[in-house]
Amino acid sequence: MSVNLQKGQKVDLTKGNAGLKRLIVGLGWDEAEKKVGFFGRKKGADIDCDASALVCGAGGKLLDKDDIVYFGNLKHRTGAITHLGDNLTGEGEGDDEQLIVELNAIPESYEKIIFVVNIYKAFERNQHFGMIKNAFIRIVDADTKQELCKYNLSENYNNMTAMIFGEVYRYKGEWKFNAIGQPTQDKGLGELAARFL
């Protein structure tokens, strides 16, 4: 049975799920209704949200730029984390972007995987998370397809251009998930990743 999480809430992933080996981390969002112009056309470019995983070592710090898994680097060098591709519009039901995490393949030198989303060219296009609705992150057992937990982001995120959604982390030999939901005004993935250097 899936657990609906609140901001800051943590949940055990492996302790109560013996044999859990692979996770699907699904991230989703919908664009809020666009304003309609004079000729009935919707105004503005589609909002392109990009999900990424920051694979961190001790203290939640990135060890190398190659530890960022995103649309430009779809597979972590260890093979443990794979991004399944970029969704340019957020249209459609369910997850907009997914990452696969092979828990048993993550070397001991990595302690957490931080999942972030930024709006592509947010400042150039004058876009922000206040223009997004129904944003969520969910963790699914990749083998049974059972949803383990879900965190719906429900606050007002006007003028925020990026979001730290949540993290999967190792604690005393078990894997846990932490619902973070921290908005930022970072200009792209580079600035967002710099928070973890």
- Which residue, chain included where needed, has tokens 């922000």? 128
pLDDT at 89 over 80: no
Q: pLDDT higher for 30 or 180?
A: 180
Q: pLDDT higher for 18 or 52?
A: 52
Q: For the chain, what percent of residues have pLDDT higher than 70?
A: 91
Torsion sign (Cα): 114, 5, 131, 27: positive
pLDDT at 123 over 60: yes
**pLDDT, average across residues 149-153:** 96
pLDDT at 143 over 60: yes
Give the angle subtended at the CA of 183 by the CAs of 109 and 32, to the nearest 5°: 125
pLDDT-derived band at 34, boundaries 50, 70, 90: low
Smallest CA-to-CA distance from 140 within 86, 100, 195 is with 100
pLDDT-derived band at 90, boundaries 50, 70, 90: low
Q: How much helix, strand and coil, in percent to the nearest 5, is found in the chain?
A: 10, 45, 45
Residues near 78 by Cβ (< 8 Å), separated by ≥ 6?
A: 105, 106, 107, 110
Q: Which two tokens stand for residue 15?
A: 């302790």
pLDDT-derived band at 2, boundaries 50, 70, 90: confident
pLDDT for res 120 = 92
**CA 12 – CA 88 distance, rounded (Å):** 32
**CA 92 – CA 98 distance, rounded (Å):** 14
